[in-house]
Each structure stands twice: as structure tokens, then as C-alpha cells.
Amino acid sequence: MNTVELITKKRNGQALTEAEIEYLVNGYTAGDIPDYQMSAFLMAVYFNGMDKAETVALTQIMRDSGDVVDLSAIDGIKVDKHSTGGVGDKTTLIVGPIAAACGVPIAKMSGRGLGFTGGTIDKLEAIPGYKTSITEQEFMDQVNSRGISVIGQTGHIAPADKKIYALRDVTGTVENLSLITSSIMSKKLAAGSDAILLDVKCGSGAFMKNQEDAEELASLMVEIGNADGKKTMAMITDMEQPLGNAIGNALEVEEAIDVLKNRGPEDITQLCIALGGMMIYMGEKASSPEEGMQKARTVLEDGSALTKFRDLIEGQGGDPAIIDDPSLMPQAEFCMELKAWEDGYIEAIDAMRIGLASQHTGAGRERKDDVIDMSAGIILCKKRRDHVISGETICKIYGNDIKKVEKALEEVTNSVRISVKKPDDISLIKKIID
């Protein structure tokens, strides 16, 4: 086979065979095909797309490029959850303990941030002592003894995706349905759980800006997951404004604890009850999603989800005292506030711009090897549809570098709109796909 011929074939809009896709993916992963040829191929896919058979083949080839984890030593139906990425999305820290408290084993491998904000693993590293890297045996033992473990995804899971994603990130080829589907599903299928719940974000802070695209992505991922023998479902959820009030690593852990104490912000609490309820149902610990949601509410109210979070932290060497005293996590030196410039209602808090602002504070990476400032980030004191009076604080920006905090303040200012009229409500959960 010849790489140039395959690039040309895709450039001309033709479908590739499984063998041809395998040649390109394995060749690139092994270092035999250079970045410039893979970049050209990815751009051809970006413009011409892939059909379903090509997408399935790409997913399976990337899944098989590394280890496919065997979690059979863990009892019960293991349910994984994946979010396509959003600003202020700390749901794993909450739904993992909720589902585990209801008896669903959570053996979760999570990633680091891909852009704006830190990922679940970055957030967990804000907890002093928490080990995101433990041996496979320790991981299995912890799930069997404590019901939950959350670790960083190893380089052995879908290494082809790791290399290709890094290239897509710097060649403007991320936002393509087939490439996103195969990237996410190759990792999820390799991670070994029996069932997968996908939280597909939709709105300004998400890859998918409108519901139609989000539904197309969700349907394709669900189909690929189910075809692989994993019970797969998806929820399309809103990402027009950040989720919850906190954006930034230690700040998000603190907010997750508040939700687990049943005193968190309304939107993230409701979303976690819905996601958690679905995981409980998928893990066959409830006979319907509604019963799952009821169980999720109960474990938030009776404190058993919080106890599971404590168990998780203790099991992985972290300091559980942060649950009672979050100030034991890194604290920022500087704080600046954005004040309302007129009376009215918050019409928009643009998630993408807030994400960028949070990145400016140091809470997210601008380059792959940047070190995250765990204490940095943003707290929203007002959300969409809230009333504000001129001079009232809309949000607080934290960081250890005053210049970065000032730059973030500028970005945040551009992200907020105030209007005289109260804007219409936007539903948080738009659709469920199974």
C-alpha cells in the first residue's frame, strides 16, 4: 500500500477499506508514516468525512492498538461514564461516588484536560497525596474492596488515539464526527467496563455547538458501543453556560464535595442525579432510570455518596480531611471580581469564553506540557437568568499570577451579557439516546 495514494483517495472523497485504514493508523503509530502525511490524511477526513463502516473500522483499529483491559476480576456490572468535555464539568467526582454508593462498581480511567480546563485526573491531583497512578492489581483490589477507583488512563490504552489526537489538536482537525467518535469510543471500549454512559455536551463550550450535531455524534457512539457488546446510552446536555459555579481544579473539587453534601448548585446537582440514576439503572441496581434517580437522591441525602468519595480518596492515598476543610487544597494568592455594570438579568455567560478565561488564570493548559495552577479558576456568583443590581459581583477570578488574573478578567467581561428582560430557560438535559 502507498500512503500518498490513500491520502489522495480520501481527498477525492472515496471510502477506504479496513485494511487501508489499518495500514495508515498502525503505520503512523509505529512511526513509519510521518506527521505531515497523517496531517494531510486527517484534513482530508475533516473535509470529506468517513462513512459508518470506515468509522467502525477506525474505532476498532485504534482500540486494538494497545491493551484492552480485562476487568472480569471485579464482581458486578462495571459502568463507565464519559463526558465529551465541558467547562466546569466535575460530574465524574460526583456520579462515581453516587453510583458506587448504590452498589455499582466504578473502575474508572480518566484523562487530563484537552484544552480549556483540567480533566478529572488534574482535578483529583488537587487533593494532597491522591495517587492517580497505581498498579492494575491495586486498581482492581480497590474496586473490589471499596467499590470505586479513579485513575489516570495509561499510555497502553489506545496509543494510536493518543498520538493521532495530539496531531489533530495542532492541525485543526478535532471537530469531525468520525474522528471524535473513534477517538472517544476506542478508549472506552479498551477500558473494559460492561456498560458506558456518554454525556454529550452541546452548546458554546462544547465541540458540538448545536443539538443536531450532538445527536448525530451521540447516536453514532451509542451504535458503535452496542455493536461491541457494551450496553451504551447517551444524554445530550447543555453547555451554553458553565456547569455549576466553579471552574478550576481545587475549586471544582470543593464544589463536588458541596454537591455530595447535598448543598451544591442546582444545575450540577440535577445533572448528577440524572447521570447517576442512569448509571445505577445500567448497572442493574434499579429497574428503571427513574428508580435509579430516586436512589441517587437518597445517597446524596443520607451522606453515603460522600462516604464513598472519602473512601476513594483514602484508598488512593489522598488526605480525606479536605472534605471537612477544603482550604487544605491549594489556595490562590489573588482574587479579582467582575461587577455588574447595570441592573438587569444575566442573559448569557458564554461557556467557551469562560473556559478560555479559566485557562488564562492557569487552571488549564495552553501548551501540552504546561503545569496547571491547582488553585486558579473562576467562581460564578451569578448564572444565566439571575437578576443583578449594578455593582453586584458576577464572578470571582482566582490565581497566583496577577497578570494572568487580569487577562482572565478581560475575557470574563466579554463573556457576560446583561439584558432588561429575563431570558427563556434552556433545558439542561435535552435528550436521551439508547
Enzyme catalytic residues: 82, 161, 168, 183, 187
> Which listed residue (183, 204, 269, 316) binds ligand URA by CB under 6 A?
183
Residue 358 makes contact with ligand URA by CB under 6 A: no
Q: Which of these ranges, 133-141, 176-184, 334-342, 413-421, lies near ligand URA under the rule CB under 6 A?
A: 176-184
Helix, coil or strand: residue 250: helix
Joined grid coordinates for residue 273: 442525579
Nearer to ligand URA, 184 or 246 (CB): 184
Residue 180 makes contact with ligand URA by CB under 6 A: yes
Looking at the DSSP assignment, which residues form a beta bridge with residue 106?
148
Nearer to ligand URA, 212 or 301 (CB): 212
Cβ of residue 42: shortest distance to ligand URA, in angstroms? 11
Rounded CA-CA distance 388/418 in Å is: 8
Residues 386, 389, 392, 393: what is their CA dihedral angle, to the nearest 10 degrees? Answer: 30
**DSSP secondary structure letters along 146-161:** HSEEEEEPPTTSSHHH
Contact between residue 150 and residue 92 where contact means Cβ atoms under 8 Å apart: yes
Q: Which of these ranges, 175-183, 208-216, 404-412, 417-425, lies near ligand URA under the rule CB under 6 A?
A: 175-183
Name the phi and psi angles at 74, rounded to 5.
-100, 130
Nearer to ligand URA, 119 or 248 (CB): 119
Contact between residue 239 and residue 206 where contact means Cβ atoms under 8 Å apart: yes
Nearer to ligand URA, 119 or 292 (CB): 119
Nearer to ligand URA, 86 or 318 (CB): 86
Rounded CA-CA distance 179/383 in Å is: 33
Cβ of residue 89: shortest distance to ligand URA, in angstroms? 12
Contact between residue 119 and residue 113 where contact means Cβ atoms under 8 Å apart: yes
Q: Which of these ranges, 52-60, 173-181, 232-240, 321-329, lies near ligand URA under the rule CB under 6 A?
A: 173-181
Residue 65 makes contact with ligand URA by CB under 6 A: no
Cβ of residue 284: shortest distance to ligand URA, in angstroms? 27
Rounded CA-CA distance 326/57 in Å is: 46
Residue 117 makes contact with ligand URA by CB under 6 A: no
Nearer to ligand URA, 77 or 167 (CB): 167
> Which listed residue (69, 184, 185, 416) binds ligand URA by CB under 6 A?
184
Q: Which of these ranges, 4-12, 87-95, 172-180, 334-342, lies near ligand URA under the rule CB under 6 A?
A: 172-180
> C-alpha distances in angstroms, 291 versus 276, 278, 285, 296?
11, 9, 9, 9
Pairing of strands 393-399, 344-349: unpaired
Residues 6+ away with beta carbon under 8 Å from 360: 404, 407, 408, 411
Cβ of residue 372: shortest distance to ligand URA, in angstroms? 18
Cβ of residue 29: shortest distance to ligand URA, in angstroms? 16
Rounded CA-CA distance 143/145 in Å is: 6
Cβ of residue 379: shortest distance to ligand URA, in angstroms? 26
Cβ of residue 165: shortest distance to ligand URA, in angstroms? 6
Binding residues for ligand URA, total number by CB under 6 A: 9
Residue 132 makes contact with ligand URA by CB under 6 A: no
Q: Give, for 91, the enclosing helix (H) or strand (E).
A: helix 91-101
Question: What does the per-residue mask of binding to ligand URA show for 140-169, with x meaning CB under 6 A?
Answer: -------------------------x----
Cβ of residue 180: shortest distance to ligand URA, in angstroms? 4
Contact between residue 412 and residue 192 where contact means Cβ atoms under 8 Å apart: no
Joined grid coordinates for residue 364: 488549564
Nearer to ligand URA, 84 or 193 (CB): 84
Instruction: Judge residue 37's burial from the number of C-beta atoms within 10 Å of its C-beta, 0-12 exposed, 13-18 middle, 19 or more buried.
Output: middle
> Which listed residue (174, 227, 336, 348) binds ligand URA by CB under 6 A?
174
Name the phi and psi angles at 278, rounded to 5.
-70, -40
> Which listed residue (10, 59, 80, 85) binds ligand URA by CB under 6 A?
85
Residue 190 makes contact with ligand URA by CB under 6 A: no
Which residue is associated with the grid cell 445517597?
A: 299
Name the phi and psi angles at 377, rounded to 5.
150, -160
Positions in the binding site for ligand URA (CB under 6 A): 84-85, 114, 165, 174, 179-180, 183-184
